Structure 1
Amino acid sequence: MNDRSLSGQVVVLDDLTRSFEQGGVRIDVLRGVNLAIRPGEIVALLGPSGSGKSTMLQAIGLLEGGFGGRIEIAGVDASRLGKDQRAAVRRDHIGFVYQFHHLLPDFSAIENVVLPQLVANKTHAEAQARAGELLSALGLAARLDHRPSQLSGGEQQRVAVARALANKPQLVLADEPTGNLDEATADRVLGQFLELVRGEGSAALVATHNERLARAMDRVVRLHDGLLHEGLPEATQLR
């Protein structure tokens, strides 16, 4: 697979569409979304609940089918790939952070970060060293052997961030990554997330409904009525 986009972008969406049938009614969630994200760029995807942010992230993450248009990830036209090829693109190029951490409860913090690297054929020694490095950078050096139930909500989410970055993805997709945390903890976790992503040189698309958090990122795009718009709403920009 080609690891470098001819356009120089990590992500290119061209006229992305997605519709659902509900009660015999057609619902157009995405109505022709266009987006390009540069290497190392952190983009906030702003929109209220139900606007289609998660649907858009699922499309970019190649997690389900049914989408129209073109999705290019790291130079690969993923809209033309089969199931196994899409899984390979996810494994090699994309990291995910969700609102709820989805850590494996019977494994320690470091084991949760080691496992995806083993799936990517890293040696155990390499995976262990990488996991320790990431967790330490997130302030969890003293918590490596703790299971998720022994960690606070903010600590669990930081482990999830380390797991997302474990395989050095070119793109990190984050769906309301601090939405389950109180404001002070959310600010702390987001700050560490952004610092680590920038340090790793990854691009990121971060879905949020919080304009204050969106301002901390390099660029803001808004999903409204199935279409994507650049920047914060005008009324917000004037504040």
Structure 2
Amino acid sequence: MSKSSQPAVVELKGLTRSFEQGGVRIDVLRGIDLSVGSGEIVALLGPSGSGKSTMLQAVGLLEGGFGGRIAIAGEEASQMPADERTRLRRNYLGFVYQFHHLLPDFNATENVVLPQLVKGTPRPDAEERARSLLTSLGLQERMDHRPSQLSGGEQQRVAVARALANRPHLVLADEPTGNLDEATSDRVLAQFLELVRGEGSAALVATHNERLAAKMDRVVRLHDGMLE
């Protein structure tokens, strides 16, 4: 069921992105309009190369060069200076990628604690939050293990916990189970959706998998640089 009637966590208006390649202009995004409501989980469906990652980079305020309007939690972010964009990312957004990108020299708990310390959370509170999230993901026996000691599914669940550590309004997930086998992918996605819903966060999840997309609240399709 769509929750788009609730206040928008992110709103895109006329979002564009073009690149120059070999003297040729390539329009990757050609006027994207999208609103994601509070607590809504939206699947961004499209084949590889359709611009899903580029769109998530725009919403995540990870690079410039985009045209149009990007509003995060009601704040117009398109023309913000870098420090203000960093503040928005830290306070409102969480990220999950296809590859976990965990810090190899830190254990699971420490990987979830670190982004909280960056935000200014006291260490005892950050550690308690990390343990709670990892336990909810079935990792209570793996908290002291480093990434190299974890399976692919476990690594990705730690990455999910890290993304939710600072209680983001919006989680951006780019093919979050794309590097896992089907059975593990299903388990991790189910836990991801359950945790995101339990936290009350919204999510925009890029995937090329129709079956996984069907498990979310709403599906939007990116084709030829536009949403269908």
What amino acid sits opposite 1:138 in the alignment? L
CA distance in 1, matches of 2:7, 2:221: 23
Q: Determine the structure 2 residue equivalent to 1:173.
A: 172
Q: State the one-letter code of the partner of 2:191.
A: Q
Distance 1:23 1:102 in 2: 32
What residue in structure 2 maps to residue 197 of structure 1?
A: 196
Say yes or no: does 1:29 pair with 2:32: no
Distance 1:9 1:45 in 2: 17
Give the superposed CA RMSD. 0.6
1:90 aligns with 2:115: no
Give the Å deviation of 1:66.
0.2
Which residue number in structure 2 is paired with residue 162 of structure 1?
Answer: 161
Whether 1:76 aligns to 2:62 is: no
Instruction: Give me the whole-angstrom Cα distance separating, in 1, the residues matched to 2:127 and 2:34.
Output: 36
Q: Secondary structure at the match of 2:50?
A: coil
Confirm or deny that 1:146 pairs with 2:145: yes
| Alpha-carbon shift at residue 80 of structure 1 (Å) | 2.1
Structure 1 stretches (4+) deviating beyond 3 angstroms? Answer: none
For residues 179-214 of structure 1, give each alpha carbon's deviation from its aligned partner in whole angstroms, at most 9, with x where no partner exists.
000000000000000000000000000000000000
SS of match in other structure, 1:10: strand
Q: What CA deviation, in whole Å up to 9, does each residue of 1:120-146 have, x standing for no partner?
A: 000000000000000000000010000
**Deviation for aligned residue 1:8:** 1.9
**Which ranges in structure 1 are unaligned for 5 or more consecutive residues?**
1-6, 230-239
Number of aligned residues:
223
1:54-69 pair list within 5 angstroms: 54-69=53-68
Q: Residue in 1 aligned with 2:104? A: 105
Q: Would you say 1:126 and 2:125 are equivalent positions?
A: yes
1:143 counterpart SS class: coil
Amino acid in the other structure paired with 1:191: A
CA distance in 1, matches of 2:84, 2:99: 27
Q: Is 2:215 the counterpart of 1:210?
A: no
Partner SS for 2:191: helix
Q: How far apart are the structure 2 equivalents of 1:125 and 1:75?
A: 32
Q: Which runs of 5+ in 2 are unaligned?
A: 1-5
Q: CA deviation at 1:26?
A: 0.1
Which residue in 2 is equivalent to 1:4? none
Q: Distance between the aligned counterparts of 2:41 and 2:195, measured in 1?
A: 12
Q: Which residue of the partner structure matches residue 221 of structure 1?
A: 220
User: Which amino acid is 2:93 matched to?
Assistant: I
Secondary structure in structure 1 of the residue aligned to 2:141: helix
1:236 aligned partner: none
- Equivalent position of 1:117 in the other structure: 116
Identity value in percent? 76
Match for residue 237 of structure 1? none
Q: What is residue 3 of structure 2 aligned with on the other side?
A: none
> What TM-score does the superposition give when structure 1 sets the normalisation length?
0.93
TM-score by length of structure 2 reads 0.97
SS in 2 for 1:17: strand
Q: Deviation string for 1:29-49 (max 9, x for gaps)?
A: 000000000000000000000
